[in-house]
């Protein structure tokens, strides 16, 4: 493939990025390729079968055959998200007899479909050196409630996008050890909306909207190592650094527009993965991944000109972990079957910390899929996963600006996700 055609291919992949649903815990996106969906990404840092190893462990590029490797993936998320009220009270701006604003309803279906593309290219420089680049959405969230939702004053619409460009290099030290390193350039955008009460004498749909939006570009790095302990046992270690962002934008409502900024530290993560081959056909996979979500305790919005605090949305995120086990079975020369399960812990541990913007909870993955070789150079991956979410309770106080009100949103969220992935790989 000519360089200009390769650049166009990657640009189209980035340009097709759509609003994202949440897959991994918090607002991190697990689906960085299509192949891993089929085994629930168990042991992903030890699997090096195509160019998408650039994200999961760049050292894995040394396990690819010499030449060029291209991988392009598309993942479709179908998310169901509903709220059930369990005793929320109406908003009052003062103690009774001040009038109560209309309580509203359960908010309808806040989920929907999202599309996550990813593209990777790797090539050999020498038998022991590889370079490559990956483009993928690493963080994201999209939640939209009805205008008359009970929790509309806490949040009515939320969208987060983070596209990562990840140039990488790998070195095969010897037959047992490979090392990899990458640079991460992250383009981050956020659009957070909520309702502002106008009058208690009219329906909830009369409320006006406040829109907080902004963007920034941040930089980080990742490193990985692969150890071929025996001919059948491989261990992968990876680390991705945190990324500091100063998201600048504006807070806009019918009363006017204010320049604002929010400082965010996207979390770092580390993973230990194992690949164990048994015989000629079966490969077992496992991993443990830690994510430092405590880097985001709250969202503090300040006036960009004066430094005055405008809002402080407490999140209370805690560090979390993920464990997964999976398997691949070489059914024939052309067909490889896959399956996996995983448990992903949420960074949100209490009902008072949970928000209507991100009603996250612990989830369990159940996945299966396959890889099929179309010819010696080209293969296709297909994967499906269903995510079972624990019921997520909320008991959160509504805050207007920096002032707490008498309203508490009380209830529980019910979430489920179906994931469909397709990936095309080509080597030349």
Per-residue pLDDT of the chain (428 residues; tens, 9 = 90+): 443 444 334 444 444 444 445 556 778 888 899 999 999 999 999 999 999 999 999 999 999 999 999 999 999 999 999 999 999 999 988 777 778 888 999 999 998 888 999 999 999 999 999 999 999 999 988 899 999 999 999 999 999 999 999 999 999 999 999 999 999 999 999 999 999 888 766 665 678 999 999 999 999 999 999 999 999 999 999 999 999 999 999 999 998 999 999 999 999 999 999 999 999 999 999 999 999 999 999 999 999 999 999 999 899 999 999 999 999 999 999 999 999 999 999 999 999 999 999 899 999 999 999 999 999 999 999 999 999 999 999 999 999 888 888 899 999 999 999 999 999 999 99
Distance CA 309, CA 317 (A): 21
* pLDDT for residue 205: 65
Q: Is the pTM of this model over 0.85?
A: yes
Class of domain 3-427: mainly beta
DSSP three-state, residue 14: helix
Cα-flanking dihedrals φ and ψ of residue 305, to 5°?
A: -90, -40
* pLDDT for residue 322: 97
Instruction: Encode pLDDT of 178-228 as tens digits.
Output: 999 999 999 999 999 999 888 766 665 678 999 999 999 999 999 999 999
* pLDDT for residue 2: 44
Q: Token pair of 7, please?
A: 């650049």
Distance CA 205, CA 398 (A): 18
Instruction: Encode pLDDT of 262-299 as tens digits.
Output: 999 999 999 999 999 999 999 999 999 999 999 999 99
Q: Token pair of 223, please?
A: 């490193």
Distance CA 186, CA 68 (A): 25
Domain ranges across the chain? 3-427
- Provide the CA 136 distance to its chain's centre, in angstroms: 10
Q: How far is CA 167 from CA 152, 221, 257, in A?
A: 41, 10, 38
311-331 burial: b if 16+ Cβ within 10 Å, else e: bebebbbbebebebbbbbebe
Closest CA to 161 of 116, 109, 209, 104: 116
Closest CA to 116 of 16, 245, 4: 16
8 Å CB contact between 106 and 83: yes
The gap between the terminal CA atoms of the chain, to the nearest Å, is: 9
8 Å CB contact between 315 and 296: yes
């Amino acid at each position: 493939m000519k360089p200009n055609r390769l650049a166009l291919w990657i640009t189209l992949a980035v340009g097709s990025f759509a609003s994202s649903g949440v897959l991994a815990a918090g607002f991190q996106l697990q689906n960085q390729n299509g192949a891993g969906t089929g085994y629930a990404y168990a042991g992903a840092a030890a699997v090096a079968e195509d160019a998408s190893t650039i994200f999961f462990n760049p050292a894995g590029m040394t396990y690819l055959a010499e030449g060029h490797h291209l991988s392009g993936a598309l993942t479709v998320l179908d998310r169901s998200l509903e709220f059930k009220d369990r005793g929320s009270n109406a908003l009052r701006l003062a103690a009774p007899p001040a009038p109560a604003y209309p309580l509203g309803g359960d908010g309808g279906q806040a989920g929907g479909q999202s599309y996550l593309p990813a593209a990777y290219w790797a090539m050999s420089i020498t038998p022991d050196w590889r370079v490559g680049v990956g483009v993928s959405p690493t963080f994201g969230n999209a939640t939209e409630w009805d205008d008359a939702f009970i929790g509309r004053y806490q949040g009515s619409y939320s969208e987060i996008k983070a596209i990562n460009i990840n140039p990488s290099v790998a070195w095969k030290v010897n037959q047992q050890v490979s090392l990899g390193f990458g640079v991460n350039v992250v383009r981050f955008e956020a659009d957070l909306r909520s309702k502002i009460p106008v009058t208690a004498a009219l329906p909830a749909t009369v409320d006006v909207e406040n829109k907080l939006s902004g963007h920034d570009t941040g930089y980080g790095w990742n490193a990985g190592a692969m150890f071929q302990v025996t001919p059948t046992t491989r261990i992968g270690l990876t680390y991705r650094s945190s990324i500091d962002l100063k998201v600048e934008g504006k807070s806009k409502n019918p009363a006017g527009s204010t320049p604002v900024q929010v400082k965010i530290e996207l979390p770092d993560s580390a993973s230990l993965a194992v690949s164990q081959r048994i015989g000629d056909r079966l490969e077992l996979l496992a991993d443990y991944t830690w994510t430092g979500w405590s880097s985001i305790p709250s969202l503090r919005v300040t006036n960009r000109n004066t430094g005055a605090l405008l809002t402080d949305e407490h999140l209370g995120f805690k560090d979390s972990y993920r464990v997964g086990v999976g398997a691949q079975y070489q059914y024939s020369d052309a067909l490889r079957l896959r399956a996996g399960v995983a448990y992903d812990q949420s960074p949100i541990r209490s009902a008072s910390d949970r928000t209507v913007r991100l009603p996250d909870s612990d989830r369990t993955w159940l996945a299966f899929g396959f890889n099929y070789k179309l010819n010696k150079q080209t293969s296709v991956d297909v994967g499906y996963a269903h995510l079972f979410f624990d019921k997520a309770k909320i008991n959160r106080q509504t805050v207007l600006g920096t002032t707490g009100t008498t309203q508490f949103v009380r209830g529980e969220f019910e979430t489920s996700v179906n994931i469909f992935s397709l990936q095309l790989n080509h080597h030349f």
